[in-house]
Amino acid sequence: MTIKVGDAIPSVKIMQATAEGPKEIDTAEFFKGRTVVLFGVPGAFTPTCSAKHLPGFVQHAGSLKAKGVEAIACMAVNDAFVMGAWGKDQGVGDTIAMLADGAAAFTKAMGLEFDLTARGLGIRCQRFVLVAKDGKVTHIAVEAPGAFEVSKAEAVLAAL
């Protein structure tokens, strides 16, 4: 079942890409006590994710923070080294936490996985965005396959 408004963020151990290297985090702890925007992408370095999705959140980070967002995180079913390299390539700096859900455990716990094995890509995360306040989902938007409308930074700004 897909996570929905009012649900608690599941507690799963994933990795965060940091300047010092991969760091294990508990997702429930990451979201606790603050307002977080989390957006998920099918994969680092993929076309729409690199050209539009991540850059949009980098561009609008200041506007999101002005609306009360305390942290912005990007997540994909990739390893922390890939997420770190992608963040560096995209110039995210400390603006966006790059979260690596390498085994898709967090993605599956939220019911946001989809199977692209037939296309040689394995289990991936659906393209989505959510807002959580103190670990509870207050907004979520999941894209239809191939779409990029409801999960972009501008759509989140309009929803806040």
In the block, tokens 């729409």 appear at: 48
Catalytic residue among 15, 17, 44, 49: 49
Query: Does residue 122 carry a pLDDT above 80?
Result: no
Q: What is the model's pLDDT at position 99?
A: 97
Provide the residue ranges of all domains of the chain, joining segments of one domain with +: 13-159
Mean pLDDT confidence for 135-145: 95
Reply yes or no on whether 49 is catalytic. Answer: yes
Class of domain 13-159: alpha beta
Total H helices, total E strands in the chain? 7, 9
Query: Does residue 61 carry a pLDDT above 80?
Result: yes
What whole-number distance in Å separates Cα of residue 17 and Cα of residue 152? 22
In the block, tokens 């929803």 appear at: 159
How do 21-26 and 123-125 pair as beta strands?
unpaired
Q: What is the model's pLDDT at position 120?
A: 65
What pTM was estimated for this model as a whole?
A: 0.94
What whole-number distance in Å separates Cα of residue 49 and Cα of residue 42? 8
Is residue 125 within 8 Å of residue 42, measured between CB atoms?
A: yes
Half-sphere exposure of 75 (CA within 13 A, CB side): 31
| Distance separating the N- and C-terminal Cα atoms of the chain | 25
Nearest Cα residue to 109 out of 119, 97, 121, 123: 123
Give the number of other Cβ atoms within 10 Å of residue 121's Cβ: 14
Segment holding 135, helix H or strand E: none
Mean pLDDT confidence for 24-38: 97
Segment holding 73, helix H or strand E: strand 71-76
Q: What is the model's pLDDT at position 40?
A: 96
